[in-house]
Amino acid sequence: MARAKVVQISGVHGVGKTELIARLAELHRDWVPLDEFSSPKPPYPFGSLGEKGFINEVWVLRQLLERNRWRPPAEAKVVLADRGFEDALVYSRVLLNDELFELFEEIWRILYGLYQYRPTLIILLDAPVDVILERIRSRGRPTMREWREDDEEYVASLREKFLELVAPLEVVEVVKADSLDDEAKTVERILVERGIIL
């Protein structure tokens, strides 16, 4: 893995992760984005429950491991990862029953050890459920209904699990999703405070 520090942007789908990464990469030429997935289509619709959800979440882990093939440019100081293993754990906790989740978590732990883009810092982008839903609907994706993207209960459960499972980790800073410029400034300040950049 290159010397660049990995900053992972995590949070519920639609909260604004991809836009924040694009803005940060635009502001800093030596901050490079690491794409979310190499293949855009999961085996089953995202948001599927039970065995289909399990298959999807294992597919997500495989997609994340595909990142190991990528190398950042030599001049990169920061790699901006769109989601990571922690996101997959949150989604699986919401979508799977206890038995399937326990199996998924075992697989997750093994594969996490192979993952080369473990984060130096996780920025957990958070917003109230109504704000997230508004952002999701404004994207107008054709898969919105099929993937349950705008299902209020689903989004609320995901947000709750992100705050419960990810927010307490030492490497996490929670950033309020507000305006893109404010989010970018907050991330820059956190990276300086944490000694990730000078």
Task: Report pLDDT for 194.
Answer: 92
What is the average pLDDT score of the chain?
92
pLDDT at 125 over 60: yes
Q: 62-120 pLDDT, tens per residue?
A: 999 999 999 999 999 999 999 999 999 999 999 999 999 999 999 999 999 999 999 99
- Give me the CATH code for the 5-193 domain, please: 3.40.50.300
In this prediction, what percent of the chain has a pLDDT beyond 70?
98
CA 114 – CA 64 distance, rounded (Å)? 10
- Mean pLDDT over residues 17-24, rounded? 94
- The reported pLDDT for the residue numbered 131 is 92
Return the pLDDT at 1.
Answer: 42
pLDDT for the residue 37: 79
- Per-residue pLDDT, 193: 94
Domain boundaries, the chain: 5-193
Q: How far is CA 5 from CA 63, 72, 103, 191, in A?
A: 21, 11, 31, 10
Q: Is the pLDDT of residue 146 over 80?
A: no
Q: 2 pLDDT band (50/70/90 cuts)?
A: very low
Token pair, residue 163, equals 């705050």
Residue 36: pLDDT band with limits 50, 70, 90: confident
pTM of the model: 0.92
